[in-house]
Structure 1
Amino acid sequence: MQIRQSIRALAQRCGLSLVDQTKMITAASELARNTLTYGGGGTVKAGTVSTHGRRGVAAVFEDSGPGIPDVEQAMTDGWTSGSGLGLGLSGARRLVDDFELSTVPGEGTVVTIIKWVR
C-alpha cells in the first residue's frame, strides 16, 4: 500500500523514533483499510506539521461513504461492523498522539491523526 511508504518517508524525515514510525504507519494502514472497506474509497492527505515548537506527521483520511451511525460504539475495542478484529478505529486512536473523527451519517467520515516527535 502506497500510504505505508509515504507515511514511513514522512516519519523518517520528521525524526520520529522507529517505534513511533511503526505506530503511525500501523494506524495509517488501518484507517486506509477502513476508508476502502467501509467508506467505499476516499482520499488521504499526509504531511509534516509543526506547532509551538513541536514537529510531527499528520494524515487525514476522508470518504463519502455511509458515515458512522454510532461513533461511541465504533470506538469500542472489539466491536466490528464487518469481519475485522474490531481494532481499527480504537487501535488507531491508541497508536497516535492526536485523533479526531468527524462523521455524518449518509455523507461520510473524516479521520485526522498526528504523531508528534518526542
Structure 2
Amino acid sequence: MPYSVASEEDLLTVRHAVRAATVEAGFGLVDQTRVVTAASELARNAYVHGGGGTLEIQVLGPRGRRGLRLVVRDDGPGIPDLETALADGFTTGGGLGHGLGGARRLMHDFQVRCGPAGGTTVVVTRWNDR
C-alpha cells in the first residue's frame, strides 16, 4: 500500500509506518533509525522538490534473507544533475545537504530513476544482517 507524501502531516505518517515495518522485519534499534532517517529524507525530497508523491514499503523475506525496501515516487521535474545531487553537502535550500547522499549511505542498495518528462523514483533497500 503506497503512502501519500503530500503534506507535513504525511511525512510524520510515513516515519511511523516505516518504523513499524523495521520492527516487523526484525531490525535492531540502530538499523531502525537508519531506515527511518533515509525514508524521512527521501519523502521530504518528494514533497518539497517533487511536489508530492508516494512511498511504498516492502518487507522482504520472511524466508531467506530479511530486509526492507522503500520505493519513493514523485511526478516533479526530476533531478537535472544526479551526480551533484548525490554529493556530500549538496543542498538546494537551507538544509545540511544530507538528502540523497545521506540516504544512499544509510541503505545497502540505492537506485534513482528520472524520467525524460520528469518524475523521480528512488528505490532503497536495507538488509537485516542480524
Pairwise CA distance, 1:32 = 0.5
- Cα deviation 1:77-117 (Å, max 9, x = unaligned): 11112222111000000011111111135411000111111
Identify the residue that residue 64 of structure 2 maps to in structure 1.
53
Normalized per residue, the structure richer in strand is 1
Change (3 A) 1:96 1:73: same
Structure 2: how far apart are the matches of 1:51 and 1:82? Answer: 40
TM-score for both structures, normalised by structure 1: 0.94
Give the residue type in structure 2 aligned to 1:104: G
Flag structure 1 segments of 5+ consecutive residues without an equivalent. none
Contact 1:97–1:114 (Cα < 8 Å) also in 2: yes
Structure 2: how far apart are the matches of 1:74 and 1:106? Answer: 19
Flag structure 2 segments of 5+ consecutive residues without an equivalent. 1-11
Percent identity reads 49
Matching of residue 32 in structure 1 with residue 34 in structure 2: no
Structure 2: how far apart are the matches of 1:43 and 1:29? Answer: 12
Give the residue type in structure 2 aligned to 1:99: F
Give the residue type in structure 1 aligned to 2:93: G
Structure 2: how far apart are the matches of 1:54 and 1:45? Answer: 20
What does residue range 1-118 of structure 1 map to in structure 2 within 5 Å? Answer: 1-50=12-61, 53-118=64-129
Contact 1:27–1:91 (Cα < 8 Å) also in 2: yes
Change (3 A) 1:109 1:51: farther
Pairwise CA distance, 1:57 = 0.9
- Cα deviation 1:31-64 (Å, max 9, x = unaligned): 0000000000001111201398211111100000
Q: CA RMSD in A?
A: 1.5
Contact 1:43–1:62 (Cα < 8 Å) also in 2: yes
Query: Number of paired residues?
Result: 118
